[in-house]
Structure formats: C-alpha cells, structure tokens
Amino acid sequence: MRIAIDTNRYTDLCRGEPEVIARVEQAGRVMMPLIVVAELRAGFAVGRRGAENESVLQRFLAEPGVEVLYAGAATTHHYAGLYAQLRRQGTPVPTNDLWIAALAIEHQLALLTRDQHFVSIPQLRLI
C-alpha cells in the first residue's frame, strides 16, 4: 500500500508510537506532502530542538521508499473540487489539510492521520 503521512502522524512516528511505526513499515511507499514538510519546519523554527528535528526529518526523507509529494496543476483542480464540495456540505477543512487531501486523492494514497475533519471527505481513504 502507498500512503501519505500527515504532520501529526509523522510526530507520532518520531515519538515511537508502535501503531504508526507498523503502518509505515508495512507501506510499500510513504509519501510526505510538501505541506507536511512545511508545517514540520515551521514548528522546528519556533521550537527549542530545531536542528535536531531537522536532522531526524532529513534522515526520514532519505529512507528508501519515502518521497516528498509536490503539488502541480492537477492538484489545484482536486483542491478546487474539494473546496467547493466542503463548502456545499458546510464542513470546512483547514487550508493546509485541504492541500494534503487533494494530493492524497490525486495520487490515490491512503492518508495516515489523526485529524477527524478529514472524514468530511468521503473520497479520501483514511488510516
């Protein structure tokens, strides 16, 4: 299975949460949306262990089977469709998470996350 990992689950992975470790190890490919990388680095920038956290992130991104997932023109169409759908449903999702969902849907990835607002997107496979 190919998965996308959300910011909160990457943090859980770094904390050694067994369920997340197992999911990542079982995945054939782990995609980290660029938005997740940016959220992590924003946290590093205001945290006390920024350099250490950056080093851990770099090692994770260098692992075989791990790849950063970038948005492209097709992603913007998925984003726009999701935005309109969620607006009609009256179930907004934070902007960064909307980008993460659009990337996961575009690339047919299951999203490893703890965020419950993603359940408002029925076409998104969640782990």
Residue 125 lies in a domain: no
Residue 66 lies in a domain: yes
For the entire predicted model, the pTM comes to 0.94
Residue 47 lies in a domain: yes
pLDDT above 90 (res 62):
yes
Residue 52 lies in a domain: yes
Report the CATH number that the domain containing residue 73 is assigned in CATH.
3.40.50.1010
Write phi, then psi, for 124 (nearest 5 degrees).
-95, 120
Residue 88 lies in a domain: yes
Chain centroid offset of residue 25 CA: 16
Q: What's the total number of domains in the chain?
A: 1
Residue 51 lies in a domain: yes
Q: If pLDDT is split at 50, 70 and 90, which confidence band does 28 have?
A: confident
Residue 61 lies in a domain: yes
Domain that holds residue 93: 2-120
Name the nearest CA neighbour of 23 among 119, 114, 122, 112: 112
